[in-house]
Amino acid sequence: MTEQYKMQDPTKQYRKAGPDFEQQQPPPGIEQKMTPKPDAGQETYVGTGRLAGRKAIVTGADSGIGRAVAIAYAREGADVVLAYLPEEQKDAQEVVKLVQEAGRKAIAMPGDLKDENYCEQLVAAAVEQLGGVDILANIAGMQQFVPEIAELTTEQFDDTFKTNVYSLFWLCKAAVKQMKPGSAIINTSSIQAYQPSPILLDYATTKAAINTFSKSLAQQVASKGICVNVVAPGPVWTPLQISGGQPQDVLKEFGAKTPLGRPGQPAEMAPAYVFLASQESSYISGETLNANGGMPTP
């Protein structure tokens, strides 16, 4: 039995944060340089063929939750278009190798999600190089803490919305035109949509918008046989947190306020994205799966 399926105490399955979590990198952050490194499931995730023959696009696929999802999708039998920033190439190369080792195609597509043309190119690449798009997993996000609204610039507010919301619109718009019945769109919200932190005004607002966008789109495309759902993670240990997502001095207690008492790991998020992309979730659309360590949500 692999660790993935072994019965464990969830409060002790992964370690709590500590002083070694206090670290900072310039955005967007490189996973290779993190200590301790997040667990993306590369040593533990075992696929069961649930996505055999599917063609997926995963944004933020170089690190964090996106990395874990790309690995899981490949091991479940899907070919993957990997979207990430050019600065994240070193991390992305590791994911490309892992996807290929799973026997699947990996299409590396560096670029900036704030660019509408790039978003359209991701869908075009899936169609041209994989033969279509069955799964769109929008995971990449921008998060930069700012203590006071007076210090939050219009430029950052705009960049956060373009990365987190506009790209969602552009990608979904392009993908829906290509998707066949049975396809799935999985967007990424956050506990911040329900319990917003005062220092994450712009980020939290985008995450609430993603929930509403997804509920509306789900109703619009249901008749086409396309399901749209959301995963809303809680505090998860990723490069997003150590590259301006949180103040450095709070990272030593990151995740401590969750009922499970610890931060989540990307490997714990990936199964939710697999479930919502698979036929097992065929009667679920317009819903949000909260993977947040037990934090209550509406």
Strand pairing report for 288-291 and 227-233? parallel
Query: Is residue 65 within 8 Å of residue 58, measured between CB atoms?
Result: no
Q: Is 117 helix (H, G, I), strand (E, B) or coil?
A: helix
Looking at the DSSP assignment, which residues form a beta bridge with residue 232?
A: 290
CB neighbourhood size of 7 (10 A): 5
Is there a catalytic annotation at residue 203? Answer: yes
Per-residue CA distances from 75 to 63, 150, 268 (Å): 17, 46, 15
Q: Which of 194, 203, 273, 283 is catalytic?
A: 203
- Report d(CA 50, CA 278) in Å as an integer: 6
- Residues 190, 111: Cα–Cα separation, whole Å: 24
Transcribe 155-210 into DSSP letters: HHHHHHHIIIIIHHHHHHHHHHTTPPTT-EEEEE--GGGTS--TT-HHHHHHHHHH
Query: Which strands, in side-by-side order, build the sheet including 184-188?
Result: 106-110, 79-84, 55-59, 135-138, 184-188, 227-233, 288-291
Count of Cβ atoms closer than 10 Å to residue 73 Cβ: 30
Give the Cα separation of 209 and 203 in Å (integer).
Answer: 10
Tell me the C-alpha distance between 135 and 274, whole Å.
Answer: 10
d(C-alpha 298, C-alpha 290), whole Å: 10
Active-site positions read 203
